[in-house]
Every structure is written in structure tokens, then in C-alpha cells.
Amino acid sequence: MTVRLQDVLAHPTLAAADPVVRAAAGTAARTQLRWIHSSEILDIAPLLDGGELLLTGGEALALASEERRVTYIRQLAERGVAALAIETGVALPSLPSSMVAAAEAAGLPLIELRKVVPFVSVMQAINSSLVSESVSQLRRADEASHAMAVELAHGGSLDRILAVLAGITHSEVTLASLTGAPLASATPAHAETADAGTAADADASSAAPEPGTPGPGIPESAPHEHARLIHIDVPVRGILAAQLLLRVPAEEDENLARTAGKRSVDILALAMLQRMSPGLREVAGAALIRAIDSGSQPWRLQQLASAAGIPVSAPLVAVVVRSDISQQLRTSLEQHLSRAAQSHATYVDNAELLAIASLAGDATEESRQRLLADLSELPAMDGTLAAVGPLVAGISDAPWSLSEAKLTLELAASPEQARPGSGGVHRPVIDAEAFAVERLTVQSLDPYQRRNFVRQQLGALLDHDAQRNSRLLDTLATWLDCGCNTAHAARELHVERQSMHQRLRRIFELCGGDPRDSGRLAALHLAARLARLA
């Protein structure tokens, strides 16, 4: 027998609290309960399964902000909690109007307990009757799960697998992608049609509709009046891939639908893996990059990489593209990665396009250079800049490669500073290794130390450029980037060789002599690169 909220409120153990429904009173009479739980923790929602009557003394709510109270209500409603009962008294004299309004908007019955009762006694008295009902629900849910497994084993479509669940729960059932697109659906009427044939009938299986399209006997879904919508996550190999939605009519057993839905998750995950693996690989790849970007634990990266088809121990690099049209560039980037990498994954986050690419196990540095050369064919549009991170030995080190690629883009503040030695020419793709010195320095020295070092090494040269409006610093930096090759530097700067020699003589005078004849060459080179960043 289904236990409803109104029955529990009338139970002697809870009636002694003088309960009054303050919000969503219209749904309270038909609200079904699965369990009664008590907690003062405001972050309790993720620990609940849905269908609970939650009892709380209100002490934590009395100290919480208005925003936190409203968030508390919304989180419980999103989790599928059946009702919330709050004890008022000295700490919390009355229910805040903001909570009442939030509960009304969310359709969550909110009950005020105006007298103190022992919550333990309430739970012991009522949960005992809920246990026997739960046993019956679990038995029927296991029957549904077994029938769905049989349907899967005989090659049934996702629609036919869902029809088994719809028939047992008497609910409209939909499997939807994370974007909300329907992948498959079934209604109780369709379940009856499916039951008329045998699950093993191959002809019936081949005639089943494609996932996401209405099958025979499935009318356009019209929401039942007062129907309860249950959401159940469907992960595949540890990655959230879809949601199972059950629209349960008010007169049907909501707790059975929830239990059977949860029992069916593994069957649905296996069915999706068999029928939709390419799409799931993309989902896993996006989840992997989000985990890399957030610095998740290595075990989580390894789990996601396996699902995304990225070898866990393969050498790889991260790629970051920043552009106002990152989403449009994604297809072009994936085409280049498909040619240059063994496997890859991409993800777009606002104006940032992130990717990882695994490279061949032998001659990995050569593979990385080929990848850089291939990616250089990306459209070199204004405002678009990309960086390839350092090579790492496996997926566990991917967060470092990604963070170094991002740092490289920050150091290359404009397309004209695409990389040291670029001669002012816009390079659409930057090698993070070309900024290895800058990356190390900005991570090791604070801004004051960097400015002081540059001033000590190049003070006279900087003063000369400021007073004469010259660009001797650029000349020195380019010459050093070119390995002190005067002819090469002249070509990079588009000047005559004689003019280049004249500039270098003046630079040497300002810097205390030819650095090639002393031990200052490395210090001057570092100072010139840091000064150019500033």
C-alpha cells in the first residue's frame, strides 16, 4: 500500500507536532513517500535519493543567509525530495517568506512543525511500514530489470527496452541526451503492444523504430494532470551520458517508478554503449578535458581517457585556441588533429577551444613538430591565437601541458608577439617550448624581481630607446633569438646588413661591450625576452 504525505502527517507521532502545510498544499495530498529522514545539514541534497520526507529542527537554517535558505529549498526539489518539514521555535520562530515562496515555485510541500516531537520516534514508527513496501517495490523493480536485460540480449531497440519499464511502472518513459534531445521513449500503451510479440522475434527487432522516434502505438506525449516527473542520471563507464525521465501519473506508484528506474540504469548504459558508442566517446572526451582543466586526480583522468579512446600512457600534448569563433574553428581543428595525432579529444568553453592529442610512441618530438606544422594551417584570423603545450608522458600529466599552453597564450599577449624570433610576423600557432624561458621566469620570480633584473642588465639601452624613440631593444632581442647571426637578424628585421652592424655597435656600447666576449650573453638574452614581454 502506497504511503502518502497526508497519511504521515496524520500519524500520531507526527500529528503531535501540530503540522501545517505552508507551501505546495495542492500537491501534499497526493505526494507519495519512500522514506523519512532527519538532518540539520544544509548540504544534504546530494546524499538523498528522492521521495523522502526530510525533517529538520531549523537551527542551521536560522543561522543561514536568505540566499542559502532558498538554495537549500531548490536543491531538495531538484533532488526529488517529497516534502520538507521544519520545526519552528526559539531558534526559528517562523518559516521565512523566501523559503515559502521558493518551495511554492518548486512544487515542494513545505511543512511547519509548530511543536517539538522526537524525530527518532517518528522515523521508527513510520519507516517500519515503508520497509515492507520497499521490499515489494524492489522485487518488481528486479523483475523489470531482468525483462529489460532479456530484451537487450535479443537485440531490442532502446524504445523496446524502455517499453518494458513503461509497462511495469505505468509511466511515460524517455531517455534524453544531456542537451535534452530524446534518444528513445515509450508509453504504457506501447508496452502492451510490445508484450504481444516475443522479445526474441528478430523481425520485430528489425522493425523497431530508431531511438528518439515514436514507435507504433506511441502517441505524442501529453503531460498527465498532476503527474510527477522523476529524473535519473544514466552514466556510462563513469561518465554522465544521459537522463532517464519517468512521468508518473498521480494514481500510480511513484516509488516503484523511481526504484525500477534506478535498477534499469546499468541495462540502459550497456544498450547505449552498444548502439551509440561514437557519441559516447565524444561525451567522454569532453568530460576528460573538463577534468584536465580543473586538475582532477590522476585516477579520474585515466578512467575518462579510457572511455574517450585516449591511451593512458601515450605521450600527448594539449592545445589551446582562443578566438571569438572557437565553436566554428572546432571542426577545422579536429580535422588537423585527425591527420597529425593518433587520437584526440576537443571541448569548447566560451571563447576557448581546448584539445588533447596523443602522439606516436616512437619519435614523439618529431610527431609534435609535425603536429605544430599541421596546425599552423589553421585560419590566421585577427583575434585568433593558439598554443601547443609541452610534451608529457601520459594522461596524468596532461593538466600541466594544458596550463603551460594557457600561460604561453598569456605571455604572447598579442598576435605580433606570436613567439620569440618571429620578426613581428603573426603566427597562428605558438610552440610553448619557444616560451620555456619566459614560463619558468614568470613562475619563479615576482614582477618586481623581473623588472629589477631587466633594469640591471639593460638600463642604458632602455633609456636610449625612451629618449631617442629608437628600437634597439627589438634589434638586440632579434639578434640574440637568431643565435647572434647578424645576417639572419637583418633579414628578420628587414634592414640592410650594414645598418644592422651599426645598430649592434651602438647596442654593444650601451651594454658594456660585445656579450659574445663575456659571460653576459645568457643574462642579456633573458633580460631582452623579459623586457619584450613587459
pLDDT confidence bin for 198, thresholds 50/70/90:
very low
pLDDT at residue 75 in the model:
92
Determine contact, residues 480/527, Cβ cutoff 8 Å: no
More confident of the two residues 478 and 205: 478
DSSP of 295-320, one letter per residue?
T--HHHHHHHHHHHT--TTS-EEEEE
Buried b or exposed e, range 334-368, using 16+ CB within 10 angstroms:
eebbeebbbbbbbbbeeeebbbbbbbeeeebeebb
pLDDT confidence bin for 85, thresholds 50/70/90:
very high
Rounded-to-5 percentages of helix, strand, coil across the chain: 55, 15, 30
Distance (Å, whole) CA 36 – CA 82: 10
Distances (CA, A) of 527 to 259, 458, 507, 532: 67, 7, 14, 8
Least confident of 75-89, 211-225, 331-345, 478-492: 211-225
Look up residue 527 and give its amino acid: A
- Can you list the alpha helix ranges (DSSP code H) found in 230-363? 254-263, 265-275, 277-294, 298-308, 326-340
Q: Which contacts qualify for 408-417: CB closer than 8 Å, 24 or more apart?
A: 408/432, 408/435, 408/439, 409/320, 409/322, 409/385, 411/435, 411/438, 411/439, 411/442, 411/533, 412/385, 412/387, 413/533, 415/382, 415/383, 415/385, 417/532, 417/533
Enumerate residues 6+ apart whose C-beta is below 8 A from 15: 9
Q: What is the mean pLDDT of residues 336-365?
A: 84
pLDDT reading at 213 higher than 60: no
pLDDT reading at 418 higher than 50: no
Helix (H) or strand (E) holding 417: none
- 3-state secondary structure (DSSP) of residue 33: coil
pLDDT at residue 128 in the model:
76
Q: In this structure, are strands 316-322 and 385-388 parallel, antiparallel, or unpaired?
A: antiparallel
Phi and psi at residue 450, to the nearest 5°: -65, -45
User: Cβ–Cβ contacts within 10 Å for residue 102, how many?
Assistant: 22
What are the structural domains, with CATH classification, of the chain? Answer: 5-117 (3.40.1390.20), 134-275 (3.30.450.40), 306-442 (3.30.70.2730), 445-533 (1.10.10.2840)
Mean pLDDT in the chain? 82
Determine contact, residues 354/320, Cβ cutoff 8 Å: yes
User: Cβ–Cβ contacts within 10 Å for residue 519, how many?
Assistant: 7
pLDDT reading at 501 higher than 70: yes
pLDDT confidence bin for 427, thresholds 50/70/90:
low
| Exposure on the CB side of residue 180, measured as CA atoms within 13 A | 0
Distance (Å, whole) CA 121 – CA 35: 14
Bridge partners (DSSP) of residue 242 are: 177, 234
Q: What is the mean pLDDT of residues 292-310?
A: 87
More confident of the two residues 181 and 408: 408
Determine contact, residues 358/371, Cβ cutoff 8 Å: no
The 10s digit of each residue's pLDDT in 156-168 is 888 889 999 999 8
Determine contact, residues 234/243, Cβ cutoff 8 Å: yes
pLDDT at residue 95 in the model:
93
pLDDT confidence bin for 47, thresholds 50/70/90:
confident
Crossing angle of helices 497-511/447-468, nearest 10°?
Answer: 120
pLDDT confidence bin for 400, thresholds 50/70/90:
very high
User: Cβ–Cβ contacts within 10 Å for residue 121, how many?
Assistant: 13
Closest CA to 230 of 145, 284, 166: 166
Crossing angle of helices 521-533/472-481, nearest 10°?
Answer: 120
Q: What is the mean pLDDT of residues 190-203?
A: 45
pLDDT confidence bin for 218, thresholds 50/70/90:
very low
The 10s digit of each residue's pLDDT in 54-76 is 999 988 999 999 999 999 999 99
Determine contact, residues 92/122, Cβ cutoff 8 Å: no
Determine contact, residues 413/319, Cβ cutoff 8 Å: no
